[in-house]
Chain A
């Protein structure tokens, strides 16, 4: 690995459901679990509230990877929000791949409020997968 690659730290935008993953990330913090600081968390009311435009816009604003995390199937605070998210996110994932964006740049996970360790692992894996890809320039806005 070259020095340049080692210095590269991917920027991750993480949309976290306020009822589970957001608390899960908090648990990872208060449990003093060490994990990369690349993810910028954005708390959303529910994974089902995610508009595809949030994801596209994050890439457009320069995110190297986008993570979306919600409650496990059956655990949604709004009963069915994560079922709706699963469908919608499946479609946007397929569309991103079709256009030629690397599939590893976009990830979804189920993390409950008790799974601080899992959240840390998800971010760790994501960062490890993003590093070899390098900066994301495909959808990033060219504002020169």
Chain B
């Protein structure tokens, strides 16, 4: 189990010595036990950092935000920014570096291993607690220690953990400057792609019926896109309002822009949007599961991304977030790529 004090000390040291300009981490939020992302710049604030089973967020997103803010302000700082990164966050950072979004020396990665645990899911916990209010939740080995008003409750961690954490193949941040916690990469809680395999056993008609039910609900709030560290384009090809408009843009130009799909939240457009997104994330999605977590209508988006991840792994031997210098999935090929489907 990681002592949160060691993360705080590391952050304080980095800021006090002037080695980094800020630390992105988690702090106690305003919603009870849940942690929330925070950027600290003052060594004094380091004691506010927390690390527990409610640190859901993929903080790599805030590196992207930071980069965008710097570009907007036309600033090029000479100090790196530090980030607290779980296994999945570290993989996301590797993908961003692979795509030259920023350089390795621009980031200082404070790795934290999820060890035998991961993050919890609120509804799973609520169900087990029978309505009791949880004040804090920390994973200790194979158990989740929850503090409620009535006292401490110990629950089996596997029953409250997120599916993505159960299926996680790499809970240890390989890419790091400093790391806390043990490397338990070989842990196997649930076989990877279990949910996907279960889904794929359905017939074609059932699969279609399933996705119809899911995508009819989509309200196109674009939360999945907003929360994704890989969706960093300023201009989104499936969202016409993100197209840049300058004072010299004529009405004709605006009217003649290609709108591949409409923004209206109807089934056909929703499906096309989500399939396009899955394709754009193929070989880049590192399965942090944030899209699924933030979806207000609970669409199982991980299934689509998992599908792409598994195909890439099984047929192209490609592992997203494995190396900074390697080629990307769709910009490389092998002679023995599958081609039997081509006539």
Contact = CB atoms under 8 A, between A and B. Distances in A.
Interface of A: 52-53, 56-57, 59-60, 73, 80, 83-84, 86-102, 107-110, 122, 125, 138-142
Interface residues of B, number: 44
29 contacts: A53-B238, A53-B276, A57-B261, A59-B272, A84-B330, A84-B331, A84-B333, A87-B329, A87-B333, A90-B338, A90-B339, A91-B279, A94-B307, A94-B308, A94-B311, A95-B279, A98-B307, A99-B207, A99-B271, A99-B275, A100-B206, A100-B207, A100-B208, A108-B342, A109-B343, A138-B208, A140-B268, A141-B266, A141-B268
Contacts of A87: 316, 329-330, 332-333, 337
Interface string B308-343: 100110011000000000000111110001110111
Contacts of A138: 208, 268, 271
A87 B261 CA distance: 24
Contacts of B205: 100
A59 B267 CA distance: 13
A86 B278 contact: no
B interface: dominant SS: helix
Given A84-B330, A90-B311, A142 B342 contact: no
Contacts of A141: 261-262, 266, 268-269
Interface of B: 200, 204-211, 237-238, 260-262, 266-269, 271-272, 275-276, 278-279, 282, 303-304, 307-308, 311-312, 315-316, 329-333, 337-339, 341-343
B233 to A, nearest CB: 13
Nearest to B215: A99
A interface: dominant SS: helix
